[in-house]
Amino acid sequence: MPRILMTGACGGIGTSLRKLLPPIYPDLLLSDLKAPADLSSQETFKAADLSDLGQVEALCEGVDGIIHFGGYSVEGSWNDILQANIIGGYNLFEAARRQGVKRIVFASSNHAVGFYPRHRKIDNDVQPRPDGRYGVSKVFGEALGSLYADKHGLKVTCIRIGNFGDKPLDRRRLSIWLKPDDLIQLCRIGLEHPDIHFEVLYGASLNERAWWDNQRAYDLGYRPTGRAEDFREHAFAEQTKLPADPIGDYFQGGAFCSTEFDGDTSRIIDWG
């Protein structure tokens, strides 16, 4: 059995995947800055600070594949993003190379392309248009993945995750929702598919309102089981509780785009 390392074990996604991954990968090593409060005796955990290359290299010893959900998961200050996502991301890839890790699944984000307008459908070959410092760090992570695949032979899959959860929570999320079981499918493609070299896939379930062309994921065998429209009434009801956001409602990145926005609003209609 391969030993799989999952970073970010205390995060929202990591907490969910801790329950879903062990039947598939029994030799699962969990990591974060500190252990989850509900860590069981059946789970294996090792603390590590991603900004410390020595700690990350020790963490990667004996590991076959990595699911990298660690780092800062929302918009933050430059220093927070720099330490956790930029330096931490580099350390993760470099430590993996040094320790002979074969595959990495990198948790990228829809915020790497958040400044595309909602009326435009995009594929995985579009130019990045990050919507904040967090989005910039995900573009950086994808670039690292490309470098380490081409130069060092790691097999890298970047998943631009939409909105992870049990159901879409508002109108925007009807377009970007990702069911937990479907994320597991995408992770397995990254860790097991024989044709992986470097891939950028979208982390989205079967969303009829999707803004993303995820054909490459389907080519690799992805068959999502979640359907966003099953939750349409709930999402629309929740949408009525949200304030209008002229910038965020125009772009795919939502509030990430409107936060700190001081650009020329008169030009927005021409974007895309």
What is the Cα–Cα distance from 127 to 130, expressed in whole angstroms? 10
116 part of the active site:
no
In this structure, what are the phi and psi dihedrals at residue 184, rounded to the nearest 5 degrees?
-60, -45
What is the Cα–Cα distance from 195 to 129, expressed in whole angstroms? 28
What distance separates the 2 farthest-apart alpha carbons in the chain? 58
Residues shown for the chain: 272
C-beta of residue 93 within 8 angstroms of C-beta of residue 73: no
Q: Radius of gyration over alpha carbons of the chain, in Å?
A: 18
Annotated catalytic residue: which of 25, 90, 116, 134? 134
C-beta of residue 255 within 8 angstroms of C-beta of residue 248: yes
What is the Cα–Cα distance from 62 to 53, expressed in whole angstroms? 16
Residue 157: burial class (beta carbons within 10 Å; 0-12, 13-18, 19+)? buried
C-beta of residue 267 within 8 angstroms of C-beta of residue 115: no
Looking at residue 110, what DSSP letter applies?
G
Nearest to 110 by CA among 80, 85, 78, 132: 132
Enzyme catalytic residues:
134
